[in-house]
Structure 1
Amino acid sequence: MKAFASAVTPVLAVVLVIVAAWYLGAALMNRQWVLDQAARAGTAPPGGVEMLAETWSQDRPVLPAPHQVVAELWKGVTGHAVTSRRSLVYHGWVTLSATLLGFGIGTVMGIALAVGIVHNRAMDLGVMPWAIASQTIPILAIAPMFVVVMNSMGLQGLLPKAAISAWLSFFPVVVGMVKGLRAPEPMQLDLLRTWNASGLTVLTRLRLPTSMAWLFASLKVAAAAALVGAIVGELPTGAVAGLGARLLQGSYYGQTVQIWAALFGAAILAAGLVALIGLAERLVLRRMGLQR
Protein backbone atom coordinates (compact mmCIF):
# COMPACT_ATOMS: atom_id res chain seq x y z
CA MET A 1 0.00 0.00 0.00
CA LYS A 2 2.82 2.37 0.86
CA ALA A 3 4.58 1.53 -2.39
CA PHE A 4 1.40 2.27 -4.34
CA ALA A 5 0.92 5.59 -2.53
CA SER A 6 4.54 6.59 -3.13
CA ALA A 7 4.12 5.85 -6.83
CA VAL A 8 0.75 7.59 -7.25
CA THR A 9 1.34 10.70 -5.14
CA PRO A 10 3.90 12.35 -7.46
CA VAL A 11 1.65 11.71 -10.46
CA LEU A 12 -1.36 13.24 -8.73
CA ALA A 13 0.72 16.22 -7.65
CA VAL A 14 1.80 16.89 -11.23
CA VAL A 15 -1.78 16.49 -12.49
CA LEU A 16 -3.09 18.93 -9.90
CA VAL A 17 -0.46 21.50 -10.85
CA ILE A 18 -1.34 21.15 -14.53
CA VAL A 19 -5.08 21.46 -13.87
CA ALA A 20 -4.57 24.52 -11.65
CA ALA A 21 -2.39 26.18 -14.29
CA TRP A 22 -4.99 25.30 -16.93
CA TYR A 23 -7.80 26.93 -14.94
CA LEU A 24 -5.66 30.00 -14.36
CA GLY A 25 -4.81 30.21 -18.06
CA ALA A 26 -8.49 29.87 -19.01
CA ALA A 27 -9.42 32.69 -16.62
CA LEU A 28 -6.77 35.01 -18.02
CA MET A 29 -7.34 34.23 -21.70
CA ASN A 30 -11.16 34.35 -21.53
CA ARG A 31 -11.32 37.46 -19.34
CA GLN A 32 -11.19 39.90 -22.25
CA TRP A 33 -14.42 38.56 -23.73
CA VAL A 34 -16.22 39.19 -20.44
CA LEU A 35 -14.87 42.73 -20.31
CA ASP A 36 -15.92 43.38 -23.91
CA GLN A 37 -19.43 42.12 -23.23
CA ALA A 38 -19.73 44.39 -20.19
CA ALA A 39 -18.47 47.37 -22.21
CA ARG A 40 -21.04 46.74 -24.96
CA ALA A 41 -23.81 46.50 -22.38
CA GLY A 42 -22.60 49.64 -20.64
CA THR A 43 -22.33 47.90 -17.28
CA ALA A 44 -19.49 47.41 -14.84
CA PRO A 45 -17.51 44.22 -15.43
CA PRO A 46 -18.07 41.46 -12.87
CA GLY A 47 -15.41 40.79 -10.32
CA GLY A 48 -14.11 38.02 -8.15
CA VAL A 49 -15.95 34.72 -8.23
CA GLU A 50 -18.47 35.93 -10.81
CA MET A 51 -15.65 36.82 -13.21
CA LEU A 52 -14.09 33.40 -12.78
CA ALA A 53 -17.46 31.70 -13.30
CA GLU A 54 -18.00 33.54 -16.58
CA THR A 55 -14.50 32.87 -17.89
CA TRP A 56 -14.96 29.16 -17.18
CA SER A 57 -18.42 28.79 -18.75
CA GLN A 58 -18.25 30.45 -22.17
CA ASP A 59 -19.68 28.63 -25.19
CA ARG A 60 -16.72 29.50 -27.43
CA PRO A 61 -13.81 30.28 -25.13
CA VAL A 62 -10.29 31.00 -26.26
CA LEU A 63 -9.14 28.31 -23.85
CA PRO A 64 -11.80 25.92 -22.50
CA ALA A 65 -11.71 25.07 -18.81
CA PRO A 66 -10.90 21.46 -17.92
CA HIS A 67 -14.45 20.66 -16.79
CA GLN A 68 -15.81 21.89 -20.15
CA VAL A 69 -13.51 19.51 -22.04
CA VAL A 70 -14.42 16.61 -19.75
CA ALA A 71 -18.14 17.36 -20.20
CA GLU A 72 -17.77 17.47 -23.99
CA LEU A 73 -15.85 14.19 -23.95
CA TRP A 74 -18.53 12.54 -21.81
CA LYS A 75 -21.27 13.88 -24.07
CA GLY A 76 -19.45 12.71 -27.19
CA VAL A 77 -18.92 9.22 -25.79
CA THR A 78 -22.20 8.57 -23.98
CA GLY A 79 -24.62 11.14 -25.38
CA HIS A 80 -25.12 9.52 -28.80
CA ALA A 81 -25.32 6.08 -30.33
CA VAL A 82 -21.90 4.81 -31.36
CA THR A 83 -23.08 4.66 -34.99
CA SER A 84 -24.07 8.32 -34.98
CA ARG A 85 -21.83 10.84 -36.73
CA ARG A 86 -22.16 12.99 -33.62
CA SER A 87 -20.57 10.29 -31.47
CA LEU A 88 -16.92 10.66 -30.56
CA VAL A 89 -16.70 6.87 -30.41
CA TYR A 90 -17.70 6.67 -34.08
CA HIS A 91 -15.10 9.24 -35.14
CA GLY A 92 -12.48 7.63 -32.93
CA TRP A 93 -13.09 4.24 -34.54
CA VAL A 94 -12.72 5.71 -38.04
CA THR A 95 -9.35 7.20 -37.09
CA LEU A 96 -8.30 4.10 -35.17
CA SER A 97 -9.02 1.87 -38.20
CA ALA A 98 -6.65 3.88 -40.40
CA THR A 99 -4.13 4.00 -37.56
CA LEU A 100 -4.06 0.23 -37.07
CA LEU A 101 -3.78 -0.48 -40.79
CA GLY A 102 -1.00 2.06 -41.25
CA PHE A 103 0.74 0.87 -38.09
CA GLY A 104 0.66 -2.72 -39.33
CA ILE A 105 2.04 -1.76 -42.76
CA GLY A 106 4.71 0.46 -41.22
CA THR A 107 5.77 -2.22 -38.74
CA VAL A 108 6.13 -4.93 -41.39
CA MET A 109 7.95 -2.55 -43.73
CA GLY A 110 10.23 -1.33 -40.94
CA ILE A 111 11.19 -4.82 -39.78
CA ALA A 112 11.84 -5.95 -43.37
CA LEU A 113 14.04 -2.92 -44.08
CA ALA A 114 15.91 -3.40 -40.81
CA VAL A 115 16.67 -7.04 -41.62
CA GLY A 116 17.92 -6.01 -45.07
CA ILE A 117 20.04 -3.18 -43.67
CA VAL A 118 21.70 -5.45 -41.11
CA HIS A 119 22.45 -8.23 -43.59
CA ASN A 120 23.30 -6.21 -46.67
CA ARG A 121 26.02 -3.56 -46.76
CA ALA A 122 24.58 -1.95 -49.89
CA MET A 123 21.19 -1.49 -48.24
CA ASP A 124 22.86 -0.09 -45.13
CA LEU A 125 24.62 2.56 -47.21
CA GLY A 126 21.79 3.16 -49.68
CA VAL A 127 18.49 2.72 -47.83
CA MET A 128 19.19 4.10 -44.37
CA PRO A 129 20.03 7.66 -45.58
CA TRP A 130 16.80 7.73 -47.62
CA ALA A 131 14.80 6.50 -44.63
CA ILE A 132 16.24 9.35 -42.55
CA ALA A 133 15.62 11.88 -45.34
CA SER A 134 11.99 10.77 -45.63
CA GLN A 135 11.32 11.98 -42.10
CA THR A 136 12.62 15.49 -42.81
CA ILE A 137 9.69 16.23 -45.15
CA PRO A 138 6.86 18.00 -43.28
CA ILE A 139 3.95 15.59 -43.22
CA LEU A 140 1.46 18.46 -43.62
CA ALA A 141 3.11 19.26 -46.96
CA ILE A 142 3.19 15.72 -48.28
CA ALA A 143 -0.23 14.54 -47.03
CA PRO A 144 -2.25 16.35 -49.75
CA MET A 145 0.04 14.87 -52.42
CA PHE A 146 -0.47 11.39 -50.98
CA VAL A 147 -4.23 11.85 -51.07
CA VAL A 148 -4.32 13.29 -54.61
CA VAL A 149 -2.04 10.61 -56.07
CA MET A 150 -3.91 7.75 -54.41
CA ASN A 151 -7.29 9.20 -55.41
CA SER A 152 -6.10 9.33 -59.02
CA MET A 153 -5.30 5.63 -58.68
CA GLY A 154 -8.83 4.96 -57.44
CA LEU A 155 -7.72 4.42 -53.84
CA GLN A 156 -9.93 6.36 -51.47
CA GLY A 157 -11.22 6.24 -47.93
CA LEU A 158 -9.06 4.29 -45.50
CA LEU A 159 -5.99 3.59 -47.64
CA PRO A 160 -4.65 7.16 -48.14
CA LYS A 161 -4.81 7.79 -44.39
CA ALA A 162 -3.20 4.41 -43.68
CA ALA A 163 -0.40 5.21 -46.15
CA ILE A 164 0.41 8.42 -44.28
CA SER A 165 0.32 6.53 -40.97
CA ALA A 166 2.70 3.93 -42.39
CA TRP A 167 4.99 6.71 -43.65
CA LEU A 168 5.35 8.11 -40.13
CA SER A 169 5.45 4.82 -38.25
CA PHE A 170 7.98 2.79 -40.23
CA PHE A 171 11.00 4.94 -39.33
CA PRO A 172 11.00 4.33 -35.54
CA VAL A 173 10.68 0.60 -36.24
CA VAL A 174 13.60 0.67 -38.69
CA VAL A 175 15.87 2.49 -36.27
CA GLY A 176 14.91 0.37 -33.26
CA MET A 177 15.18 -2.94 -35.09
CA VAL A 178 18.55 -2.09 -36.66
CA LYS A 179 19.86 -1.33 -33.19
CA GLY A 180 18.31 -4.49 -31.78
CA LEU A 181 19.46 -6.80 -34.57
CA ARG A 182 23.01 -5.52 -34.11
CA ALA A 183 22.87 -5.96 -30.33
CA PRO A 184 24.30 -9.51 -30.08
CA GLU A 185 27.88 -9.72 -28.87
CA PRO A 186 30.55 -10.62 -31.47
CA MET A 187 31.41 -13.70 -29.40
CA GLN A 188 27.81 -14.95 -29.74
CA LEU A 189 27.91 -14.49 -33.50
CA ASP A 190 31.29 -16.23 -33.74
CA LEU A 191 29.95 -19.16 -31.73
CA LEU A 192 27.08 -19.67 -34.18
CA ARG A 193 29.49 -19.46 -37.11
CA THR A 194 31.63 -22.20 -35.58
CA TRP A 195 28.48 -24.33 -35.53
CA ASN A 196 28.07 -23.55 -39.24
CA ALA A 197 24.71 -21.87 -38.58
CA SER A 198 23.00 -20.35 -41.61
CA GLY A 199 22.11 -16.66 -41.85
CA LEU A 200 18.46 -17.53 -41.29
CA THR A 201 19.32 -19.50 -38.16
CA VAL A 202 21.39 -16.63 -36.79
CA LEU A 203 18.49 -14.28 -37.48
CA THR A 204 15.76 -16.39 -35.89
CA ARG A 205 17.73 -17.89 -32.99
CA LEU A 206 19.89 -14.92 -31.96
CA ARG A 207 19.25 -11.58 -33.64
CA LEU A 208 15.43 -11.51 -33.42
CA PRO A 209 15.19 -12.64 -29.77
CA THR A 210 17.87 -10.12 -28.80
CA SER A 211 16.03 -7.32 -30.62
CA MET A 212 12.68 -7.75 -28.84
CA ALA A 213 13.26 -5.04 -26.24
CA TRP A 214 14.23 -2.54 -28.95
CA LEU A 215 11.30 -3.60 -31.11
CA PHE A 216 8.67 -2.95 -28.46
CA ALA A 217 10.23 0.39 -27.52
CA SER A 218 10.08 1.48 -31.16
CA LEU A 219 6.53 0.16 -31.57
CA LYS A 220 5.31 2.48 -28.81
CA VAL A 221 6.72 5.47 -30.70
CA ALA A 222 5.42 4.15 -34.01
CA ALA A 223 1.87 3.70 -32.67
CA ALA A 224 1.67 7.32 -31.56
CA ALA A 225 3.16 8.47 -34.87
CA ALA A 226 0.65 6.35 -36.80
CA LEU A 227 -2.25 8.01 -34.98
CA VAL A 228 -0.85 11.45 -35.82
CA GLY A 229 -0.54 10.36 -39.46
CA ALA A 230 -4.15 9.19 -39.59
CA ILE A 231 -5.43 12.49 -38.19
CA VAL A 232 -3.22 14.52 -40.54
CA GLY A 233 -4.45 12.39 -43.44
CA GLU A 234 -8.03 13.40 -42.66
CA LEU A 235 -7.33 17.13 -42.74
CA PRO A 236 -6.63 17.80 -46.45
CA THR A 237 -9.50 15.62 -47.64
CA GLY A 238 -12.29 17.56 -45.96
CA ALA A 239 -13.21 14.33 -44.22
CA VAL A 240 -16.65 13.98 -42.65
CA ALA A 241 -15.62 11.22 -40.25
CA GLY A 242 -12.68 10.77 -37.92
CA LEU A 243 -11.04 12.83 -35.22
CA GLY A 244 -9.45 14.97 -37.91
CA ALA A 245 -12.93 15.76 -39.21
CA ARG A 246 -13.97 16.79 -35.69
CA LEU A 247 -11.00 19.13 -35.53
CA LEU A 248 -11.93 20.62 -38.91
CA GLN A 249 -15.57 21.10 -37.93
CA GLY A 250 -14.56 22.71 -34.66
CA SER A 251 -12.19 25.11 -36.40
CA TYR A 252 -14.78 26.02 -39.07
CA TYR A 253 -17.41 26.99 -36.49
CA GLY A 254 -15.14 28.24 -33.71
CA GLN A 255 -16.09 25.36 -31.40
CA THR A 256 -12.93 25.31 -29.31
CA VAL A 257 -14.43 22.95 -26.74
CA GLN A 258 -15.07 20.41 -29.50
CA ILE A 259 -11.51 20.83 -30.76
CA TRP A 260 -10.04 20.17 -27.32
CA ALA A 261 -12.34 17.19 -26.77
CA ALA A 262 -11.16 15.68 -30.06
CA LEU A 263 -7.54 16.29 -29.08
CA PHE A 264 -8.04 14.57 -25.75
CA GLY A 265 -9.85 11.74 -27.50
CA ALA A 266 -6.79 11.28 -29.72
CA ALA A 267 -4.53 11.36 -26.67
CA ILE A 268 -6.62 8.67 -24.98
CA LEU A 269 -6.42 6.50 -28.10
CA ALA A 270 -2.65 6.92 -28.26
CA ALA A 271 -2.30 6.10 -24.57
CA GLY A 272 -4.45 2.99 -25.04
CA LEU A 273 -2.33 1.78 -27.97
CA VAL A 274 0.91 2.33 -26.06
CA ALA A 275 -0.54 0.54 -23.02
CA LEU A 276 -1.53 -2.48 -25.14
CA ILE A 277 1.94 -2.63 -26.67
CA GLY A 278 3.43 -2.38 -23.18
CA LEU A 279 1.24 -5.29 -22.04
CA ALA A 280 2.33 -7.36 -25.04
CA GLU A 281 5.94 -6.46 -24.27
CA ARG A 282 5.69 -7.73 -20.70
CA LEU A 283 4.03 -10.97 -21.79
CA VAL A 284 6.52 -11.68 -24.58
CA LEU A 285 9.65 -10.77 -22.61
CA ARG A 286 8.43 -12.76 -19.60
CA ARG A 287 7.76 -15.73 -21.87
CA MET A 288 11.30 -15.41 -23.24
CA GLY A 289 12.73 -15.20 -19.72
CA LEU A 290 13.99 -11.66 -20.23
CA GLN A 291 11.68 -10.06 -17.66
CA ARG A 292 10.20 -11.13 -14.36
Structure 2
Amino acid sequence: MMTETLRTRVWPVVAVLIVIIALWYVAALFMNRSVAVNEAELKGENLTSSELWMKSFTLKKPLLPTPDQIGVEIWKTTAEMKVTSKRSLVYHAWVTLSATLLGFAIGTATGILLAVGIVHNKAMDKSLMPWVIASQTIPILAVAPMLIVVLNAIGISGLLPKALISTYLSFFPVVVGMVKGLRSPEVIQLDLMHTYNANKTQIFWKLRFPASVPFLFASLKVGVAISLIGAIVGELPTGAVAGLGARLLSGSYYGQTIQIWSALFVSAFLAGALVFAVGATERVVNRLMGVKPEARV
Protein backbone atom coordinates (compact mmCIF):
# COMPACT_ATOMS: atom_id res chain seq x y z
CA MET A 1 0.00 0.00 0.00
CA MET A 2 2.79 2.40 0.95
CA THR A 3 4.77 1.51 -2.17
CA GLU A 4 1.73 2.09 -4.36
CA THR A 5 1.11 5.48 -2.72
CA LEU A 6 4.72 6.52 -3.28
CA ARG A 7 4.63 5.41 -6.91
CA THR A 8 1.32 7.00 -7.86
CA ARG A 9 1.13 10.10 -5.66
CA VAL A 10 4.49 11.08 -4.15
CA TRP A 11 7.09 10.44 -6.83
CA PRO A 12 5.26 12.31 -9.63
CA VAL A 13 5.06 15.40 -7.41
CA VAL A 14 8.73 15.07 -6.42
CA ALA A 15 9.79 14.65 -10.06
CA VAL A 16 7.92 17.78 -11.14
CA LEU A 17 9.38 19.70 -8.19
CA ILE A 18 12.93 18.68 -9.13
CA VAL A 19 12.39 19.84 -12.71
CA ILE A 20 10.97 23.19 -11.56
CA ILE A 21 13.91 23.78 -9.19
CA ALA A 22 16.44 22.87 -11.89
CA LEU A 23 14.83 25.25 -14.39
CA TRP A 24 14.69 27.92 -11.67
CA TYR A 25 18.45 27.71 -11.09
CA VAL A 26 19.12 27.93 -14.82
CA ALA A 27 16.86 30.98 -15.14
CA ALA A 28 18.52 32.63 -12.12
CA LEU A 29 21.93 31.96 -13.60
CA PHE A 30 21.18 33.74 -16.87
CA MET A 31 19.05 36.56 -15.40
CA ASN A 32 21.54 37.46 -12.68
CA ARG A 33 24.75 37.31 -14.72
CA SER A 34 24.38 40.87 -16.04
CA VAL A 35 23.92 42.11 -12.47
CA ALA A 36 27.02 40.19 -11.41
CA VAL A 37 29.04 41.71 -14.25
CA ASN A 38 27.94 45.26 -13.36
CA GLU A 39 28.65 44.69 -9.68
CA ALA A 40 32.13 43.34 -10.45
CA GLU A 41 32.92 46.35 -12.66
CA LEU A 42 31.79 48.81 -9.98
CA LYS A 43 33.98 47.13 -7.37
CA GLY A 44 36.90 46.81 -9.78
CA GLU A 45 36.97 43.05 -9.45
CA ASN A 46 38.72 41.07 -12.16
CA LEU A 47 36.68 37.87 -12.20
CA THR A 48 36.89 35.03 -14.68
CA SER A 49 33.86 33.96 -16.67
CA SER A 50 33.22 30.96 -14.40
CA GLU A 51 33.51 33.17 -11.29
CA LEU A 52 30.97 35.59 -12.76
CA TRP A 53 28.59 32.71 -13.41
CA MET A 54 28.96 31.49 -9.83
CA LYS A 55 28.56 35.04 -8.48
CA SER A 56 25.11 35.04 -10.10
CA PHE A 57 23.99 32.64 -7.36
CA THR A 58 25.22 34.73 -4.41
CA LEU A 59 24.04 38.28 -5.19
CA LYS A 60 22.45 40.23 -2.32
CA LYS A 61 19.93 41.87 -4.68
CA PRO A 62 19.45 39.43 -7.57
CA LEU A 63 16.86 39.84 -10.27
CA LEU A 64 15.70 36.29 -9.56
CA PRO A 65 16.69 34.77 -6.21
CA THR A 66 17.59 31.11 -6.12
CA PRO A 67 15.47 28.65 -4.10
CA ASP A 68 18.23 28.26 -1.49
CA GLN A 69 18.43 32.05 -0.99
CA ILE A 70 14.69 32.19 -0.45
CA GLY A 71 14.82 29.20 1.91
CA VAL A 72 17.60 30.80 3.99
CA GLU A 73 15.67 34.09 4.20
CA ILE A 74 12.49 32.32 5.32
CA TRP A 75 14.45 30.38 7.95
CA LYS A 76 16.12 33.53 9.28
CA THR A 77 12.85 35.48 9.47
CA THR A 78 10.84 32.67 11.07
CA ALA A 79 12.92 30.24 13.13
CA GLU A 80 15.70 32.64 14.14
CA MET A 81 13.54 35.61 15.14
CA LYS A 82 11.02 36.23 17.88
CA VAL A 83 7.47 36.12 16.58
CA THR A 84 6.91 39.60 18.02
CA SER A 85 9.75 41.10 15.98
CA LYS A 86 8.72 43.48 13.19
CA ARG A 87 11.13 41.61 10.91
CA SER A 88 9.59 38.21 11.62
CA LEU A 89 7.54 36.69 8.81
CA VAL A 90 5.47 34.89 11.45
CA TYR A 91 4.43 38.27 12.85
CA HIS A 92 3.57 39.64 9.40
CA ALA A 93 1.76 36.43 8.45
CA TRP A 94 -0.37 36.63 11.60
CA VAL A 95 -1.38 40.24 10.84
CA THR A 96 -2.49 39.24 7.34
CA LEU A 97 -4.11 36.03 8.58
CA SER A 98 -6.22 37.96 11.12
CA ALA A 99 -7.72 40.15 8.39
CA THR A 100 -8.14 37.11 6.14
CA LEU A 101 -10.09 35.07 8.67
CA LEU A 102 -12.32 37.97 9.69
CA GLY A 103 -13.09 38.86 6.08
CA PHE A 104 -13.64 35.20 5.19
CA ALA A 105 -16.07 34.75 8.10
CA ILE A 106 -18.06 37.86 7.12
CA GLY A 107 -17.99 36.90 3.44
CA THR A 108 -19.14 33.35 4.14
CA ALA A 109 -22.02 34.47 6.35
CA THR A 110 -23.04 37.15 3.85
CA GLY A 111 -22.83 34.74 0.93
CA ILE A 112 -24.94 32.07 2.62
CA LEU A 113 -27.63 34.56 3.65
CA LEU A 114 -27.77 36.06 0.15
CA ALA A 115 -27.97 32.60 -1.42
CA VAL A 116 -30.86 31.58 0.84
CA GLY A 117 -32.69 34.79 -0.04
CA ILE A 118 -32.05 34.39 -3.77
CA VAL A 119 -33.31 30.79 -3.80
CA HIS A 120 -36.45 31.47 -1.78
CA ASN A 121 -37.36 34.91 -3.13
CA LYS A 122 -37.94 35.47 -6.84
CA ALA A 123 -37.59 39.24 -6.48
CA MET A 124 -34.11 38.86 -4.95
CA ASP A 125 -33.19 36.34 -7.62
CA LYS A 126 -34.12 38.71 -10.44
CA SER A 127 -32.83 41.93 -8.87
CA LEU A 128 -29.89 40.96 -6.67
CA MET A 129 -28.10 38.18 -8.54
CA PRO A 130 -27.11 40.39 -11.52
CA TRP A 131 -25.60 42.93 -9.13
CA VAL A 132 -23.70 40.20 -7.28
CA ILE A 133 -22.16 39.14 -10.60
CA ALA A 134 -21.51 42.74 -11.69
CA SER A 135 -19.68 43.49 -8.43
CA GLN A 136 -16.88 41.13 -9.43
CA THR A 137 -16.21 42.95 -12.72
CA ILE A 138 -14.64 45.87 -10.84
CA PRO A 139 -10.87 45.36 -10.32
CA ILE A 140 -10.02 44.95 -6.65
CA LEU A 141 -7.05 47.29 -7.07
CA ALA A 142 -9.56 50.03 -7.89
CA VAL A 143 -11.95 49.18 -5.08
CA ALA A 144 -9.40 48.79 -2.28
CA PRO A 145 -8.04 52.38 -2.15
CA MET A 146 -11.52 53.92 -2.39
CA LEU A 147 -12.93 51.68 0.33
CA ILE A 148 -10.03 52.36 2.68
CA VAL A 149 -10.20 56.14 2.12
CA VAL A 150 -13.97 56.20 2.76
CA LEU A 151 -13.67 54.09 5.92
CA ASN A 152 -10.77 56.17 7.23
CA ALA A 153 -12.84 59.32 6.64
CA ILE A 154 -15.52 58.00 9.00
CA GLY A 155 -12.99 56.89 11.59
CA ILE A 156 -12.74 53.18 10.74
CA SER A 157 -9.18 51.93 10.36
CA GLY A 158 -6.97 49.00 11.27
CA LEU A 159 -8.13 45.44 10.73
CA LEU A 160 -11.69 46.00 9.51
CA PRO A 161 -10.97 47.79 6.18
CA LYS A 162 -8.65 44.98 5.08
CA ALA A 163 -11.18 42.40 6.24
CA LEU A 164 -13.93 44.07 4.20
CA ILE A 165 -11.79 43.81 1.08
CA SER A 166 -11.41 40.09 1.78
CA THR A 167 -15.18 39.95 2.26
CA TYR A 168 -15.72 41.64 -1.11
CA LEU A 169 -13.74 38.90 -2.84
CA SER A 170 -14.84 35.87 -0.83
CA PHE A 171 -18.61 36.30 -0.69
CA PHE A 172 -19.07 35.84 -4.46
CA PRO A 173 -18.00 32.17 -4.80
CA VAL A 174 -20.03 31.35 -1.68
CA VAL A 175 -23.16 32.96 -3.14
CA VAL A 176 -22.78 31.19 -6.49
CA GLY A 177 -21.93 27.83 -4.94
CA MET A 178 -24.72 27.93 -2.37
CA VAL A 179 -27.33 28.99 -4.93
CA LYS A 180 -26.27 26.08 -7.12
CA GLY A 181 -26.30 23.71 -4.14
CA LEU A 182 -29.65 24.80 -2.74
CA ARG A 183 -31.18 24.31 -6.19
CA SER A 184 -29.50 20.93 -6.75
CA PRO A 185 -32.31 18.69 -5.35
CA GLU A 186 -34.30 17.11 -8.14
CA VAL A 187 -38.01 17.74 -8.67
CA ILE A 188 -38.87 14.22 -7.59
CA GLN A 189 -37.15 14.83 -4.23
CA LEU A 190 -39.03 18.08 -3.71
CA ASP A 191 -42.29 16.36 -4.62
CA LEU A 192 -41.55 13.65 -2.08
CA MET A 193 -41.07 16.28 0.63
CA HIS A 194 -44.40 17.86 -0.36
CA THR A 195 -46.14 14.48 -0.01
CA TYR A 196 -44.85 14.40 3.56
CA ASN A 197 -46.49 17.81 4.03
CA ALA A 198 -43.13 19.42 4.78
CA ASN A 199 -43.04 23.20 5.00
CA LYS A 200 -40.30 25.43 3.51
CA THR A 201 -38.21 25.37 6.68
CA GLN A 202 -38.27 21.58 6.86
CA ILE A 203 -37.46 21.29 3.15
CA PHE A 204 -34.52 23.64 3.65
CA TRP A 205 -32.97 21.81 6.62
CA LYS A 206 -33.85 18.25 5.56
CA LEU A 207 -33.15 18.49 1.83
CA ARG A 208 -31.77 21.71 0.38
CA PHE A 209 -29.06 22.45 2.93
CA PRO A 210 -27.61 18.89 3.09
CA ALA A 211 -27.57 18.85 -0.72
CA SER A 212 -25.69 22.17 -0.78
CA VAL A 213 -22.86 21.12 1.57
CA PRO A 214 -20.52 19.77 -1.18
CA PHE A 215 -21.07 22.95 -3.20
CA LEU A 216 -20.51 25.09 -0.10
CA PHE A 217 -17.15 23.56 0.74
CA ALA A 218 -15.97 23.76 -2.87
CA SER A 219 -16.80 27.46 -2.74
CA LEU A 220 -15.16 27.91 0.66
CA LYS A 221 -11.86 26.53 -0.68
CA VAL A 222 -11.89 29.20 -3.38
CA GLY A 223 -13.17 31.87 -1.00
CA VAL A 224 -10.53 31.37 1.70
CA ALA A 225 -7.70 31.57 -0.84
CA ILE A 226 -8.94 34.81 -2.40
CA SER A 227 -9.64 36.20 1.08
CA LEU A 228 -5.91 36.04 1.67
CA ILE A 229 -5.33 37.87 -1.62
CA GLY A 230 -7.83 40.52 -0.55
CA ALA A 231 -6.07 41.03 2.79
CA ILE A 232 -2.70 41.44 1.07
CA VAL A 233 -4.14 43.84 -1.53
CA GLY A 234 -5.78 45.80 1.30
CA GLU A 235 -2.38 46.38 2.87
CA LEU A 236 -0.86 47.86 -0.27
CA PRO A 237 -2.67 51.24 -0.60
CA THR A 238 -2.59 51.95 3.15
CA GLY A 239 1.16 52.14 3.51
CA ALA A 240 0.84 49.47 6.19
CA VAL A 241 3.89 48.65 8.27
CA ALA A 242 2.74 45.14 9.19
CA GLY A 243 1.46 42.23 7.15
CA LEU A 244 2.70 40.29 4.14
CA GLY A 245 1.52 43.08 1.85
CA ALA A 246 3.63 45.56 3.81
CA ARG A 247 6.56 43.16 3.53
CA LEU A 248 6.13 43.08 -0.24
CA LEU A 249 5.95 46.88 -0.38
CA SER A 250 9.08 47.46 1.68
CA GLY A 251 10.94 44.89 -0.39
CA SER A 252 9.97 46.62 -3.62
CA TYR A 253 10.93 50.06 -2.26
CA TYR A 254 14.47 48.96 -1.42
CA GLY A 255 14.97 46.42 -4.18
CA GLN A 256 15.09 43.49 -1.76
CA THR A 257 13.97 40.80 -4.15
CA ILE A 258 14.83 37.99 -1.73
CA GLN A 259 12.51 39.58 0.84
CA ILE A 260 9.75 39.88 -1.78
CA TRP A 261 10.03 36.25 -2.83
CA SER A 262 10.15 34.98 0.75
CA ALA A 263 6.94 36.88 1.52
CA LEU A 264 5.35 35.41 -1.62
CA PHE A 265 6.32 31.88 -0.59
CA VAL A 266 4.93 32.38 2.91
CA SER A 267 1.71 33.72 1.37
CA ALA A 268 1.45 30.65 -0.85
CA PHE A 269 2.09 28.35 2.12
CA LEU A 270 -0.53 30.20 4.18
CA ALA A 271 -3.09 29.90 1.38
CA GLY A 272 -2.37 26.19 1.05
CA ALA A 273 -2.75 25.71 4.81
CA LEU A 274 -6.10 27.53 4.80
CA VAL A 275 -7.43 25.44 1.90
CA PHE A 276 -6.21 22.28 3.66
CA ALA A 277 -8.03 23.36 6.84
CA VAL A 278 -11.26 23.84 4.89
CA GLY A 279 -10.78 20.42 3.29
CA ALA A 280 -10.20 18.80 6.70
CA THR A 281 -13.36 20.46 8.02
CA GLU A 282 -15.25 19.13 4.99
CA ARG A 283 -14.12 15.58 5.74
CA VAL A 284 -15.27 15.91 9.36
CA VAL A 285 -18.66 17.30 8.30
CA ASN A 286 -19.10 14.54 5.71
CA ARG A 287 -18.31 11.92 8.33
CA LEU A 288 -20.89 13.41 10.70
CA MET A 289 -23.45 13.45 7.89
CA GLY A 290 -22.74 9.82 7.09
CA VAL A 291 -21.24 10.46 3.66
CA LYS A 292 -19.06 7.58 2.49
CA PRO A 293 -15.58 8.60 1.27
CA GLU A 294 -15.09 8.23 -2.45
CA ALA A 295 -12.84 5.42 -3.56
CA ARG A 296 -9.55 6.61 -5.11
CA VAL A 297 -8.94 5.49 -8.65
TM-score bracket relative to the smaller structure: over 0.9
Q: In the alignment, is the contact (CA less than 8 A) between 2:37 and 2:52 conserved in 1?
A: no
The 5 A counterparts of 1:167-186 are 167-186=168-187
TM-score by length of structure 1 reads 0.97
Q: How far did residue 45 of structure 1 move?
A: 4.8
Indicate yes or no: 2:57 matched with 1:56.
yes
Give the distance between the partners of 2:245 and 2:252, measured in 1 at CA. Answer: 11
Q: How far did residue 42 of structure 1 move?
A: 6.0
**Structure 2 letter corresponding to 1:92:** A
Alignment-derived partner of residue 124 in structure 2: 123
What are the superposed Cα offsets for residues 248-292 of structure 1, whole Å, 9 maximum, x if unpaired? 110111100000001111111101000000001111112212233
What are the superposed Cα offsets for residues 219-243 of structure 1, whole Å, 9 maximum, x if unpaired? 0000001000000000000001100
Q: How far did residue 37 of structure 1 move?
A: 3.1
Q: Please, which moves more after superposition, 113-122 or 34-43?
A: 34-43
Gaps of 5+ in 2: none
CA distance change for structure 1 residues 84 and 44 in 2, over 3 Å: closer, same or farther?
closer
Q: In the alignment, is the contact (CA less than 8 A) between 1:39 and 1:45 conserved in 2?
A: no
State percent identity of aligned pairs.
59
Give the distance between the partners of 1:127 and 1:23, measured in 2 at CA. Answer: 50
Alignment-derived partner of residue 273 in structure 2: 272
Alignment-derived partner of residue 218 in structure 1: 219
Q: In the alignment, is the contact (CA less than 8 A) between 2:61 and 2:255 conserved in 1?
A: yes
Give the distance between the partners of 1:123 and 1:30, measured in 2 at CA. Answer: 56
Indicate yes or no: 2:290 matched with 1:286.
no
Gaps of 5+ in 1: none
Give the distance between the partners of 2:192 and 2:167, measured in 1 at CA. Answer: 37
Q: What number of residue pairs does the alignment pair up? A: 291
Alignment-derived partner of residue 239 in structure 2: 238
Alignment-derived partner of residue 154 in structure 2: 153
Give the distance between the partners of 2:120 and 2:150, measured in 1 at CA. Answer: 33
Alignment-derived partner of residue 101 in structure 2: 100
Q: How far did residue 43 of structure 1 move?
A: 5.9
Alignment-derived partner of residue 139 in structure 2: 138
Say what the alpha-carbon RMSD is for the aligned residues.
1.2
Q: In the alignment, is the contact (CA less than 8 A) between 1:143 and 1:233 conserved in 2?
A: yes
SS in 1 for 2:87: coil
Give the distance between the partners of 2:53 and 2:205, measured in 1 at CA. Answer: 63
Alignment-derived partner of residue 230 in structure 2: 229
What are the superposed Cα offsets for residues 105-134 of structure 1, whole Å, 9 maximum, x if unpaired? 000000111111111111111111111111
Alignment-derived partner of residue 69 in structure 1: 70
SS in 1 for 2:152: helix
Give the distance between the partners of 2:53 and 2:97, measured in 1 at CA. Answer: 37
